[in-house]
Structure 1
């Protein structure tokens, strides 16, 4: 079979689209005829004939699209398609004459390459047709939708840029990614629409190091990172499309900028408790630990955040220990950014609450001392909260409890948190203060927080606040000077009496009763007088009748002074 003139012309992107389409249609018609009469590799040509028939249908659909010729993607796609068809026509001529100058193996290879190229062209044409961008004038060179644009316009633009992303070369991909990043950065709400309407799986595939230019990968990692961080819906789609595995590989082997973006995305994905298990499936524990150990400060911050997110997953806890996570996390308490220190403290608080083994390991790595240092060095309430929770869990270890009980700096800080901290810090600090064996001298040092502890007793929320305040106050009242100081605080005494009133329902009566009993401990006449003068006696009588725990004994102590006064007066008379 002889090659036609049309087939020998060199396809050019400069040709008008209609001219290129006419040339393609002519060569395609000849190929469909010749594919049925070849003498060699008949099976392969039967497969090719099926593809050529599909191509004819696609070209018909293309020409029916009202604005197909305006699409710049076709300026690249059509010349490439024509070149492939011309190559196939030349190969069909050799098959018809059974002439294989380079041998059958080489010919077979050439035929397979041309067939694969044809498949790629079919895929691109199908994608272009399904995207709908050929049905609107100006498609593919659309201006960026303005803020507040109609949803349909934004959806069309998303389809458009993902078409460019999948069909075009490096420059088309770069420009498409620039458009995508602009959408994602301009409007946070657009992320869910991009995730639903765009091909997130293809976007994630651009993270593959082996196939794409660095700038493409960097833009793709940035886009995936934004999608993963934007909300539950887009994060779920990124995870379901296999994004976590690609991101972990990027975190392991990428450049520093890529690692930072990947770490942000991994932290966002693992924030969903349902995704935590997958870290182990992708061997991500060791990758995250190494990122904490040797990554940039930004990478460390988000990597330890991801570890924090999965530290509560049972299967991952032991992996963290086995891979050496604890010393790395402890080190971040004083070497990381403020955000990294907060997340590291949070992570240690989770591990410290997980059991004796983890507590021993943290103490062994000098985690307790670094947590104490962190409390003194930071003013961030969230960081302090996590550090205190970790310290509180570690305090059940006898050796740690001795260190904490003798730390005047810690006790003073606890007093300050009780006075000036938020309600969470108050509760944790009061609870820790009540559980430690604090010296009398240190109890006197924090006596100024007793008024705040009384106020805590009034608050029904959060659960446990009243109890923590009561126990801490009772602990401080074992010191005589503190008892005297509290009863001199008229405001606190009036609050205490109000809490004793059976009509005051916001406080469990056992708590103020415990404080009254503590104030009367040691037989201080001055404390009794002040409590009696404030009206405590009547309330205590009613609480005894109500059988409130401890009320009877407290009333006996309160009454003792009154009986002595009566007997003394009678004797003098």
Structure 2
């Protein structure tokens, strides 16, 4: 930098700093002075960033600096007149401030154009030191403004270093995000970098926007800055890493259904479906993220229909068969979301082999995680509500898998299996019969004594539904231990007693069987029912009356009077 230019630059920076301080004292036209102050901040950061830099020999900054100094002197004059309220008229002063603001815009653009020519030497591409943990808001703002100036005027390498530094601070401290949002043009600049020719800058910009989108209160700022369209362009032709960041960012902003239409209107659904439909080797994270974004979008009926027309169902069933857990879970979730409340899509999933895929995940011989199995269980429950589902589930081995996990699975899978058995039992009488033949009742009885109230309740209600069927009732009574367990659970002194209404419902059904009535009377637990008849009321009383009829009347009378 020339000998004349350097003092002029320092003089300009000092004058800007003085004006920023002075502007805080002005009480009139506060909105316009706030706008001027923002532009002074931006001009300050741009000039301080190059204070120690060298320019090429054939370039002079003097003319630009002299022009800026003239505007700054005019600004100082207007500031003093506003401070002393010595202006001739409000309208004239407003007009003068608008003209001043426009001049600053011109200077900022001129500096940006100058430095975009790459006239800064590479040895100046050092980012200032990061403020300490206890730094003030002004220190943080100065640091962010310095990074902003480097992003605007620096070489490609300088831009990269500034983006690296920016992502580090916003990842670790929310204060930097808040200050960044308040600085004019920073978010827009990041959005523009999504279309930058250098892949690293594109990746870092996408990462920064993704980090900012993680804050609920700042998502609207990104939307206002027009982030959706360039994010979708990155999905279509960006680097693999920038695609991942773009997909993460879209997933966060699409949590608000109001943005779904905007994503669709810019071709986002097509781009996401293309990612899911392509060969996903070595792109597992991206495919899983694409499924996540689409899951947020299918709440809009028109978007869901478009996806179906584009063959999405078969693609997601295919993804559900892959070995990557993230893709599996996201595709299974997406299929369930699409099927919710839509019988035609449920039918399409079943016809496309979706249920077979879900059941295979539950195969004990497979090595799927509990989380994946949980999603598969939930998918079967949510989708299989059609008349032909039971035969499919039986043929695919669904009942065998549930029984296996009920007998020997870990606690989480056991609970899932129990809930699946409860759901299956409630689908039809035929399902109850099939479950009875498969041996479910004997296993369910063992859960009546569980430490978990919820598990005891689900097991009791499932049994209550199953023993309504005469064939099941007969099978249940054949095992003395089954009847005994139900009666034991009605003992008021038992620690895990509870679910009395459901247990009494089971007994009520059993009393329709002669052999069951006999076993109940001879079990030694009859007094439990009698006590309940005295305290609990009608259900227990009905059972006592049924037990005391016909040929058991004399037996009961003898017991009561003994």
**1:250 Cα deviation (Å)?**
0.8
Task: Count the aligned residue pairs.
Answer: 471
- For residues 480-495 of structure 1, the aligned pairs below 5 Å read 480-483=474-477, 485=479, 487-488=481-482, 493-495=487-489
Q: Deviations over 1:427-447 (max 9, x none)?
A: 344223442615256541562
Any idea what SS the aligned residue of 2:194 has? coil
Task: Provide the C-alpha distance between the structure 2 equivalents of 1:369 and 1:70, rounded to a whole number of angstroms.
Answer: 63
- For residues 303-452 of structure 1, the aligned pairs below 5 Å read 303-335=290-322, 337-376=324-363, 377=366, 379-413=368-402, 416=405, 420-421=411-412, 426-435=418-427, 437=431, 438-439=433-434, 442-444=437-439, 447-452=442-447
Could you say which residue in structure 2 is the equivalent of 1:302? Answer: 289
Query: Closer, same or farther in 2 for the Cα pair 1:85/1:366, shift >3 Å?
Result: same
Q: Deviations over 1:232-268 (max 9, x none)?
A: 2344433342222221221122222222222222222
Task: Provide the C-alpha distance between the structure 2 equivalents of 1:290 and 1:65, rounded to a whole number of angstroms.
Answer: 46
Could you say which residue in structure 2 is the equivalent of 1:40? Answer: none
User: Which moved further from structure 2: 320-329 or 431-440?
Assistant: 431-440
Structure number with bigger Rg: 1
Task: Provide the C-alpha distance between the structure 1 equivalents of 2:249 and 2:48, rounded to a whole number of angstroms.
Answer: 40
Could you say which residue in structure 2 is the equivalent of 1:281? Answer: 265
Could you say which residue in structure 1 is the equivalent of 2:505? Answer: 514
Could you say which residue in structure 2 is the equivalent of 1:538? Answer: 530
Task: Provide the C-alpha distance between the structure 2 equivalents of 1:344 and 1:154, rounded to a whole number of angstroms.
Answer: 42
Task: Provide the C-alpha distance between the structure 2 equivalents of 1:17 and 1:368, rounded to a whole number of angstroms.
Answer: 75
Query: Closer, same or farther in 2 for the Cα pair 1:273/1:513, shift >3 Å?
Result: farther
TM-score by length of 2: 0.70
Task: Provide the C-alpha distance between the structure 2 equivalents of 1:311 and 1:234, rounded to a whole number of angstroms.
Answer: 24
Any idea what SS the aligned residue of 1:305 has? helix
Cα contact 2:362–2:401 (8 A) shared by 1: no
Q: Which runs of 5+ in 1 are unaligned?
A: 1-12, 25-56, 89-117, 129-137, 460-464
Q: Deviations over 1:469-527 (max 9, x none)?
A: 444222454254444558458666433454999xx9x75x6423322223434223454
- For residues 87-486 of structure 1, the aligned pairs below 5 Å read 121-123=107-109, 141-147=127-133, 149-187=135-173, 190-197=176-183, 199-208=186-195, 211-228=196-213, 230-294=214-278, 295=280, 296-335=283-322, 337-376=324-363, 377=366, 379-413=368-402, 416=405, 420-421=411-412, 426-435=418-427, 437=431, 438-439=433-434, 442-444=437-439, 447-452=442-447, 455=450, 458-459=453-454, 468-477=458-467, 478-483=472-477, 485=479
Cα contact 2:150–2:159 (8 A) shared by 1: yes
Any idea what SS the aligned residue of 2:141 has? helix
Any idea what SS the aligned residue of 1:435 has? coil
User: Which moved further from structure 2: 320-329 or 374-383?
Assistant: 374-383
Task: Provide the C-alpha distance between the structure 1 equivalents of 2:379 and 2:422, rounded to a whole number of angstroms.
Answer: 15
Cα contact 1:330–1:365 (8 A) shared by 2: yes
TM-score by length of 1: 0.68
Query: Closer, same or farther in 2 for the Cα pair 1:319/1:529, shift >3 Å?
Result: same
Cα contact 1:297–1:337 (8 A) shared by 2: yes
Q: CA RMSD in A?
A: 4.6
Any idea what SS the aligned residue of 1:276 has? helix
Task: Provide the C-alpha distance between the structure 2 equivalents of 1:275 and 1:386, rounded to a whole number of angstroms.
Answer: 27
Could you say which residue in structure 2 is the equivalent of 1:101? Answer: none
Task: Provide the C-alpha distance between the structure 2 equivalents of 1:154 and 1:23, rounded to a whole number of angstroms.
Answer: 24
Task: Provide the C-alpha distance between the structure 1 equivalents of 2:226 and 2:46, rounded to a whole number of angstroms.
Answer: 36
Any idea what SS the aligned residue of 2:188 has? helix
Task: Provide the C-alpha distance between the structure 2 equivalents of 1:389 and 1:370, rounded to a whole number of angstroms.
Answer: 13
Task: Provide the C-alpha distance between the structure 1 equivalents of 2:452 and 2:10, rounded to a whole number of angstroms.
Answer: 87
**1:177 Cα deviation (Å)?**
0.4
Task: Provide the C-alpha distance between the structure 1 equivalents of 2:452 and 2:515, rounded to a whole number of angstroms.
Answer: 23
Cα contact 1:454–1:470 (8 A) shared by 2: no
Task: Provide the C-alpha distance between the structure 1 equivalents of 2:10 and 2:401, rounded to a whole number of angstroms.
Answer: 87
Task: Provide the C-alpha distance between the structure 1 equivalents of 2:417 and 2:134, rounded to a whole number of angstroms.
Answer: 43
Task: Provide the C-alpha distance between the structure 2 equivalents of 1:70 and 1:214, rounded to a whole number of angstroms.
Answer: 24
**1:528 Cα deviation (Å)?**
1.1
**1:159 Cα deviation (Å)?**
2.4
**1:145 Cα deviation (Å)?**
3.1
Could you say which residue in structure 2 is the equivalent of 1:563? Answer: 552
- For residues 60-71 of structure 1, the aligned pairs below 5 Å read 71=50
**1:311 Cα deviation (Å)?**
2.5
**1:452 Cα deviation (Å)?**
2.1
Task: Provide the C-alpha distance between the structure 1 equivalents of 2:368 and 2:4, rounded to a whole number of angstroms.
Answer: 68
Task: Provide the C-alpha distance between the structure 1 equivalents of 2:290 and 2:56, rounded to a whole number of angstroms.
Answer: 42
Query: Closer, same or farther in 2 for the Cα pair 1:122/1:197, shift >3 Å?
Result: closer
Cα contact 1:434–1:475 (8 A) shared by 2: yes
Task: Provide the C-alpha distance between the structure 2 equivalents of 1:81 and 1:446, rounded to a whole number of angstroms.
Answer: 91
Q: Which runs of 5+ in 2 are unaligned?
A: 13-35, 68-103, 115-123
Query: Closer, same or farther in 2 for the Cα pair 1:440/1:253, shift >3 Å?
Result: closer
**1:75 Cα deviation (Å)?**
5.1
